[in-house]
Amino acid sequence: MIKGLSAEELLKFGKLYKQRTDYIQAISYLDQAAEIFLAQEQFEQFLDTKNILLRIYSETSSQDKVEAIKEELQDLVLKNNFELTAKTFYVLGVCANHKKQYGIAKEYFTKSLNLALKSDCKKDICYAVFGIATVCAATEKYNEALKEIYNIQVFFQVISVPELELSLKLLNGHILRKLARFDEALEVFWQAFEEIKSSKDIFMYINLLFSIGVSYKDRGDHHMAKVYLNLAKSSMDEKNLTSLHRVIVANLEEISGASSESFDLIFEKEKKSVKEKNKGDIDFKNQFILLDLLKLFMTKPGQVYSKEEIVNMIWQQNYDPRVHDNKLYVTIKRLRRLIEPENEKPKYLFRAKNGYYFNKDVKVLLS
């Protein structure tokens, strides 16, 4: 028992230890803070404390502790000693979310939102909408999740909720990653990385390193992926960050176990070499324009690039149909001749109504 400290001081120390990922110490302070807040009927502070504990127990895979908090809150509600506030339903939603009970979680978050709107508490509105966005993301309703994120960002123009703003960026980045919008995801993560410098939150720092690493991995850039995933791994105490450590190790093993035979097309950027599954090594004979064009398409498979975009990004010129139409046609034809196993039956590079795109269903590796 830590004597002589108020509940507010205990909560403050608990948060600091959590930021340092010293979870044993953090739990000790937070448990005592929650007990005092409850005894003093300071329910909002009690719920804030329990929410932090939930995040710790989720990271350490302590599902029994998550269930215990949920039962404690439900008992308090049933005994009518506990106020049914927006924050109450939010924390209950977080409990359900951790247990992957997404339907129940969304119900709690929706109730939280309705109460927050009724009381016009903008901070509670932000938390409730964030909860709904996490459920949408977890159930692969990514466009709905992005709409909810936009709604929260509108509120951030008039209020500041620092502890939520970074979490929102992480969620936003991972949704963009799932949608294969890798450059946008990385841009969001780097924005968050700049902000984290002033917060000194080690967990968020490690989480961002992981997020950047896994984005590079999904994009096919395994070299950069290994750099950031290994940096995240070496920065953490695996005894505390058990869940994140397990995910990082799994991603590193996946990269290491990915043999060249499993990819249709491999582009080694440093060597400027290309290997096709059936054709083997492809000799580009210092044709750097073709290499740049292939790299552009392979970076974002499935994305349609207009003639204007290709001319601007490859030749750094403004598109002029009189100058570039034939030039682009010939360049695309030359690239196809090099990489396609069958010239009459394209596998990689296709023409769209307003441009060209790379087949998103083939397995490519940028290393």
CATH number of the domain at 287, please. 1.10.10.10
pLDDT (0 to 100) of residue 257: 67
Higher pLDDT, 205 or 63: 205
**Mean pLDDT confidence for 130-151:** 95
Mark whether 48 and 166 lie in a shared domain: yes
pLDDT (0 to 100) of residue 272: 78
Angstrom distance (rounded) from CA 287 to CA 161: 51
Phi, psi angles (nearest 5°) of residue 2: -90, 115
Does pLDDT of 160 surpass 70? yes
Mark whether 66 and 175 lie in a shared domain: yes
Pick from 161, 176, 201: which residue ends a domain?
Answer: 201
Note whether residue 207 is domain-resident: no
Phi, psi angles (nearest 5°) of residue 127: -65, -45
Mark whether 21 and 160 lie in a shared domain: yes
Note whether residue 28 is domain-resident: yes
CB contact at 8 A, 350 and 356: yes
Does pLDDT of 187 surpass 70? yes
Q: Kindly indicate the confidence band of residue 279, based on its pLDDT and cuts at 50, 70 and 90.
A: confident
Q: Kindly indicate the confidence band of residue 260, based on its pLDDT and cuts at 50, 70 and 90.
A: low
Q: Tell me: the pLDDT tens digits for 307-352?
A: 999 999 999 999 998 989 899 999 999 999 999 988 788 899 999 8
**Mean pLDDT confidence for 39-48:** 88
Domain total for the chain?
A: 2
Does pLDDT of 61 surpass 70? yes
Note whether residue 232 is domain-resident: no
Angstrom distance (rounded) from CA 126 to CA 238: 32
Mark whether 86 and 196 lie in a shared domain: yes
Mark whether 161 and 21 lie in a shared domain: yes
Number of other residues whose CB lies within 10 A of the CB of residue 49: 27
Minimal CA–CA distance to 24: which of 34, 13, 35? Answer: 13
Does pLDDT of 244 surpass 90? no
Does pLDDT of 2 surpass 80? no
Q: Any idea how long the chain is?
A: 367
pLDDT (0 to 100) of residue 298: 87
Does pLDDT of 203 surpass 90? no
324 is in which domain, residue-wise? 263-366
Number of other residues whose CB lies within 10 A of the CB of residue 7: 20
Tell me the CATH number at 59. Answer: 1.25.40.10
> Strands, E, within the chain: which ranges?
265-268, 273-276, 280-282, 349-352, 355-358, 364-366
Pick from 173, 201, 229: which residue ends a domain?
Answer: 201
Q: Tell me: the pLDDT tens digits for 5-42?
A: 999 999 999 999 988 888 889 999 999 999 999 899 88
Angstrom distance (rounded) from CA 276 to CA 346: 13
Does pLDDT of 189 surpass 80? yes
Minimal CA–CA distance to 365: which of 229, 250, 219, 254? Answer: 219
Phi, psi angles (nearest 5°) of residue 265: -145, 130
